[in-house]
Amino acid sequence: MNRRTIILLKTLTWLGCLAPLAWLMWGAVTNNLGPNPTQNIAFTTGNTALNLLLVTLAISPVRRIFPRFSWLVRFRRLFGMFVFFYASLHLLTFIALYAGFNVSRMLSEVVTRRYITAGMAAYLLLLPLAATSTRRAIIKLGGKRWNRLHMLIYPAAILAVIHFWWQMKPGVLKPLDETVALAVLLAARPAIAWWKRRKERAVTV
């Protein structure tokens, strides 16, 4: 894929990833965030972070199954940084709009509300991934250590889905789509590895 096409696709990716934020900003300016603006902001930022996390996880299996899409790896870091960006906005919504920057209240909520505990744990796992997302960090850590560290994306995704489920009322199945998508992506890694080993054995035989 040529450089101009990559630049165009990255521009579209930026616009697409920023669209939820633009929608929230427009809603705030026009006073059109619904009857519960804080809840709307929290849901939009959190849901966007989770969906982008799933997109990030999907890049590796897609390019392994379809080698023609190997160029997708160039977008993984971009999606990953937007995951952290929206997760940070989600956390900031909790700190500023729910807890009112009250540290004792924040700590109490983290300890007593299990969905907040799970969400905070997911965010803490994303921190080292965001901090080591640069080429310099890859060189400094070394490829193997960097890859091992970035396996934290899997427990972070699991905790994010748990965070989503635990804040839902009984019987509400809103997180089901994300749960199924994550389950498929988690199963894809060993399934692809098994399929490749089987293919290599068939070639050698």
**Residue with tokens 């909520």, as numbered in its chain:** 109
Q: Note whether 60 and 39 are within 8 A (CB).
A: no
Q: Note whether 53 and 109 are within 8 A (CB).
A: no
Q: Note whether 161 and 50 are within 8 A (CB).
A: yes
Cα distance between residue 131 and residue 135, in whole Å: 11
First to last CA, the chain: 35
CA dihedral 18, 20, 25, 29 (to 10 degrees): 140
Residue 195 pLDDT: 81
Cα distance between residue 166 and residue 185, in whole Å: 21
> CB 132: neighbour CB atoms within 10 A?
16
The domains of the chain are located at 38-189
Residue 193 pLDDT: 82
Residue 191 CA from chain centroid, whole number: 22
Residue 199 pLDDT: 72
List per-block mean pLDDT (blocks of 10 residues) for the chain, which spans 205 residues.
Answer: 89 97 97 95 98 97 90 94 98 96 95 97 97 92 92 97 96 95 94 80 63
Q: Note whether 177 and 185 are within 8 A (CB).
A: no
Q: Note whether 28 and 73 are within 8 A (CB).
A: no
Residue 91 pLDDT: 98
